[in-house]
Amino acid sequence: MPTIPGDWTITLGAQGRFLPEFEGASRFRFEPLPIVSVRRAGKAARFRAPLDGAGISLIDIGGFHGGLVGKYKSGRDAGDYPRHLRGLGDVDATIEAGLFAEFWPGDWFRTRIETRRGFGGHRGFVADLSADVVVPVGERWTLSGGPRLSLADNKATAPYFGVDAAQSLASGLPLFNAKGGLHSIGAGLQARYQLTPRWEVRAYVEYARLRDDAASSPLVTRYGSPNQTTVGLGLSYSFDAKLW
């Protein structure tokens, strides 16, 4: 029986990012996040945009990759922002699970789509589409970036942007039946710097402009902004190990 190679490259690190206090907010909060990835030793790390979901590739044919993907979406606690979210209630954290597909027509350009279904704070479907130009600059720098587009159905939009009768009475906001559609459009830019063969620093900015009912929600028009920006900085270290 053939054995499975036991040599792997493990990448560990940490990043911090500033992002809107809640989706649709105009003010920012700080969020620390871990960096964790595992790949076969000797295999180059695959490009990853900052907001990509965590994926497991099941199909690798030429420039096409596809497989399973997951993403975590933080909950929204009304008590943390009483001025803006009073009477709107909490929204639980959500695990989104689904499929991804990406295509590299060349070494410098990637397109990717993720379709995910939520479990928790929302139970709807979302789709994220992106394209990135990936350009090495010298021996240590890599710059990348491109456009972004997100879609969301009714069930994925209403918990965050809708206002029902009870919430309207408690918050003073008008009733609003938030429906799905084009959720946002935007763009991202990332810079990676290889300090040593094992240490890497990366910085990024991602901008999204809310659209359709997400932008028209009274929560956004009265208290927030349709302009949503995330800025992050991370440091990681890679090493080889035997996992079994």
Average pLDDT of the chain to the nearest whole number = 94
Contact 40, 9 (CB under 8 A): yes
According to the model, what pLDDT value does residue 244 have? 67
Distance (Å, rounded) from C-alpha 216 to C-alpha 226? 9
Question: Looking up tokens 């209403």, which residue turns up?
Answer: 158
Average pLDDT estimate for 123-141: 96
Q: Give the chain's end-to-end CA distance (angstroms, integer).
A: 16
**Which DSSP symbol is given to 220?**
I
User: In the structure, how many helices (H) and strands (E) does the chain have?
Assistant: 5, 11
Q: Tens digits of per-residue pLDDT, 133-183?
A: 999 999 999 999 999 999 999 999 999 999 999 999 999 999 999 999 999
According to the model, what pLDDT value does residue 2 have? 38
Q: Residue 90 pLDDT more than 60? A: yes
Residues composing the chain: 244
According to the model, what pLDDT value does residue 43 have? 82
Contact 24, 225 (CB under 8 A): yes
Please tell me whether the overall predicted TM-score, pTM, comes out greater than 0.85 for this model: yes
Q: Residue 55 pLDDT more than 70? A: yes
